[in-house]
Amino acid sequence: MSTEATDFPPREIVDIMAKSKKTGETSKADAIRSYLSANPKAKAKEAVDALAANGVKVSSAHVYLVRSSSKAKARKAKGAKARAVMATRPGIKDHADAVLQVKMLAHQLGGMSALKALVSALAD
């Protein structure tokens, strides 16, 4: 059995494969992104036709892929922003910690009955 079938291609070939074929030319994904940023409500078929008129041959599946990946990035950024806001909010972050703090407050006030009386007085 030959080991040539399982060998990876030389490093030079791998580096060449990752780069674009024509230097300075925008990629198909970049063309799709620019079209979708200019026409955010455009359907995939419209994007394919418009890009084909400009000489960029793409499939509707490629348009869907680029659009979904940009939406995923937006969702990820939105989630990160929400987590950052929650981290900066003052207050109790853990429910178990809240229970312990209430118990400590009750102990400082002289028992749970004193805490209940204080809460009922605040509620009135």
pLDDT digits (tens, 9 = 90+) for 69-111: 888 888 888 888 888 887 777 776 678 888 888 999 999 999 9
Q: What is the pLDDT of residue 10?
A: 52
53/2 same-domain check = yes
Identify how many contiguous H helices and E strands the chain contains and give both numbers.
6, 0
96/86 same-domain check = no
Task: Single out the residue of 78, 52, 73 nearest to residue 63, CA to CA.
Answer: 52
Residue 35 has pLDDT above 60, yes or no: yes
77/36 same-domain check = yes
98/50 same-domain check = no
Residue 67 has pLDDT above 60, yes or no: yes
Three-class secondary structure of residue 117 per DSSP:
helix
Least confidently predicted of 14-18, 52-56, 61-65, 71-75: 14-18
Least confidently predicted of 1-5, 12-16, 116-120: 12-16
Structural domain span for residue 119: 92-124
Domain count, the chain: 2
72/99 same-domain check = no
35/67 same-domain check = yes
As a whole number, mean pLDDT of residues 28-53 equals 91
36/54 same-domain check = yes
- Tell me the pTM: 0.47
Three-class secondary structure of residue 118 per DSSP:
helix
What lies within 8 Å, CB to CB, of 41 at 6+ separation is none
70/116 same-domain check = no
Percent of residues, the chain, with pLDDT higher than 70: 78
Q: Could you give the CA distance from residue 107 to residue 99 in angstroms, rounded to a whole number?
A: 12
* 8-state DSSP, 25: P
110/84 same-domain check = no
56/1 same-domain check = yes
7/40 same-domain check = yes
Q: Could you give the CA distance from residue 113 to residue 16 in angstroms, rounded to a whole number?
A: 77
* Structural tokens at position 25: 């030319």
